[in-house]
Structure 1
Amino acid sequence: MFEDDQKRLLGEFVRAHRERLAPDQPAGRRRTPGLRREELAARAGISATWCAWIEQARDVQASPHALGRLAKALQLTRAERAYMFDLAGRRDPDAAAHADAEDAPSSLRAMVTAIDHPAYGLDRFWNACAWNASAEDLFIGWLGTGHQRNLLRYIFLDPASRVLIPDWEDRARRVLAEFRADYSHSLHDPEMNTLLTTLRQQSPFFAKAWSEQIVLDREGGLRVFSHPARGALSYEQHTFRPSDRPDHKLVILIPAP
């Protein structure tokens, strides 16, 4: 999409949502449906001129925090807010706050429960937020009662992962490169940066691989395990993102022929 088209769409979006809002104290007949620009600007704590320029598709450099105040004043839903930030070409500083990182989406839980093969869900910190019995049986030392549930901590800090994963070094490098792609969405998140600092300090391998600046999309493929009780196991891995919570992911392991 061309930049001028984005500005036009942003202006049309802001105007349409402004006109849907009811004024605080309607009095008599109003030429303008919904809120006036001055009223919206007052609610958002921004200048009326700046608000007008956005609607007129002028070249306005809107800061993320100003856009956040505007989104709140417009009473946008999460999807509408994300759409507005995309049109403005800005990253929402509060995007993580709108997602409840403590609970897995119901859609993800439903899928994990319905699948017989190993399946688990990861939140934006790569903590396991849902898993089934098959996954708990496969990932000894990671999933289950009494274990920490962060996949990165398990792979890079728990010696058990090196036993379970025969091609550990290659797999660990790939996981780190996939994590870096997700990390770019949470650069200023204190909890994410605490996790990164811990991994760099406690795992020399992680620190070295992180400095290589490799970024990869999360892809499927053959995954081989050396299970202490069941021996060699092979799976095809598939990863999906719930449409209602794209900051989470569903991982399914289908037994390979």
Structure 2
Amino acid sequence: MTDTRLELGRFLRAMRERSPAEAGGRRRTPGLRREELAIRAGISTTWLAWLEQGREANPSPHALARLARALALSVAERAYLFELAGRLDPEAPVALALEEAPDSVRVLVDFAPGPAYGLDRTWRATCWNAAAARLFPGWLDDLGERNLLRYMFLRAEARAMLPDWHERARRLIAEFRADHAGRHGDPVSERIVADLRGESAEFASLWDEQVVQGREGGLRRFDHPWDGHLAFRQFTWIPADRPDTKVVVLHPA
């Protein structure tokens, strides 16, 4: 029996005992009876008992969604329930697209000592500082392609400036796929992928490799058209108030 299953069981029982009891009848325990919650959620009492006991019950996302509604869980509680169960919430709201960077992103970018920029969930740049604008011609200048993936695969400036372009491009796709996995059904992200598959044979080939990788920092090298050879260490932060965004800072290596 895994600790996660036990924690899921404890959490469900605590939420059930916290829920307002049905009217009528004498109560020895607080909250809803197991049978009452099972009826509300449209599941069997035995299966609910297995969940609360931490047994192997393999809850489906839709069964968890019914439990969340029956327990009137908050947004944070519902997210925690799905996290413990290792499932994606089928009703998770898609964050609204950002026209401007949230303050939590802009403040970090403004105060960064080196090149820094903010990305939304589709990896479109929402803000950047002057150092980043100089470092990335064709992306963060006045005529730039704001989406990082489109810049990487469609702009000649990116290929000319990155001595390890193919390796960087492959890593970028693997990291975007990891981000994209939690947002299946997001029409904006899916449109970007579909468009790039049609516009870049290299993107289509690399995307079909199905490589997935968490976003990592590390050494980034540039053969800059004005500043020559440059090297940076890359660091990425995800703001707590907008986990669908990120801040990338480059520190001279």
TM-score, normalisation: structure 1: 0.80
Q: 2:169 aligns with which of 163, 172, 177?
A: 172
- Aligned mates of 2:106, 2:26 — CA distance in 1: 51
Per-residue CA distance 1:78-134 (angstroms, 9 max, x = gap): 443233223223222344x26445375543332122213211122332222332232
Q: State how 1:188-203 maps to structure 2 within 5 Å.
A: 188-203=185-200
CA offset at residue 203 of structure 1? 0.6
Q: 2:90 aligns with which of 89, 93, 100?
A: 93
* Unmatched tracts of structure 1, length 5 or more: none
CA offset at residue 7 of structure 1? 2.9
Q: 1:40 aligns with which of 23, 37, 41?
A: 37
Q: Secondary structure at the match of 1:224?
A: strand
Q: CA RMSD in A?
A: 2.9
Q: Secondary structure at the match of 1:186?
A: coil
The corresponding residue for 1:143 is 140
The corresponding residue for 2:5 is 7
Letter matched to residue 48 of structure 2 = C
CA offset at residue 188 of structure 1? 4.6
Per-residue CA distance 1:200-220 (angstroms, 9 max, x = gap): 221111122223333333332
Q: 1:76 aligns with which of 64, 73, 76?
A: 73
- Aligned mates of 2:183, 2:4 — CA distance in 1: 24
Q: 2:111 aligns with which of 100, 111, 114?
A: 114
In structure 2, the CA distance between the partners of 1:77 and 1:136, relative to structure 1 (3 Å rule), is farther
- Kindly tell me the number of residue pairs found equivalent between the two proteins: 252
Q: Secondary structure at the match of 1:126?
A: coil
Off by >6 Å, runs of 4+ in structure 1: none
Greater shift in the superposed pair: 7-16 or 137-146: 137-146
CA offset at residue 244 of structure 1? 4.6
Q: Does 1:240 align with 2:237?
A: yes
In structure 2, the CA distance between the partners of 1:161 and 1:89, relative to structure 1 (3 Å rule), is same
Q: Secondary structure at the match of 1:218?
A: coil
In structure 2, the CA distance between the partners of 1:98 and 1:180, relative to structure 1 (3 Å rule), is closer
Greater shift in the superposed pair: 185-194 or 124-133: 185-194
In structure 2, the CA distance between the partners of 1:157 and 1:61, relative to structure 1 (3 Å rule), is same
Q: 1:60 aligns with which of 57, 60, 77?
A: 57
The corresponding residue for 1:17 is 15
- Aligned mates of 1:113, 1:239 — CA distance in 2: 15
- Aligned mates of 1:189, 1:215 — CA distance in 2: 18
* Unmatched tracts of structure 2, length 5 or more: none
Greater shift in the superposed pair: 115-124 or 187-196: 187-196
In structure 2, the CA distance between the partners of 1:16 and 1:195, relative to structure 1 (3 Å rule), is same
Work out whether residues 94 and 186 of structure 2, in 8 Å CA contact, stay in contact via their aligned partners in 1: no
- Aligned mates of 2:97, 2:19 — CA distance in 1: 31
TM-score, normalisation: structure 2: 0.82
CA offset at residue 172 of structure 1? 1.5
Work out whether residues 78 and 98 of structure 1, in 8 Å CA contact, stay in contact via their aligned partners in 2: no
In structure 2, the CA distance between the partners of 1:58 and 1:238, relative to structure 1 (3 Å rule), is closer
Q: 1:215 aligns with which of 212, 215, 220?
A: 212
